[in-house]
Amino acid sequence: MISEDTEFLNFGLLSGFQLESISKIFYLYLKYDFSKIFMKQFLKSFS
């Protein structure tokens, strides 16, 4: 019974950690994408 509880707890912690890291990666990707678009517009206005 104890092992099942710890497995469940570990799974909960793992999935929570994965969700957090996935959202961080997604946020960084969006930031990077926006900066790329911004740079393109920035260079267009100069050329």
| Model pLDDT for residues 9-45, shown as the tens digit of each residue | 777 777 777 888 888 888 888 888 888 888 898 888 8
Give 35-45 pLDDT, tens digit per residue.
888 889 888 88
Q: Model's pTM, two decimal places?
A: 0.44
Residue recorded with tokens 């950690």: 17
Q: Can you tell me the distance from the alpha carbon of 47 to that of 43, in angstroms, rounded to the nearest whole number?
A: 6
Q: Can you tell me the distance from the alpha carbon of 31 to that of 20, in angstroms, rounded to the nearest whole number?
A: 16
Residue 7's SS3 state is helix
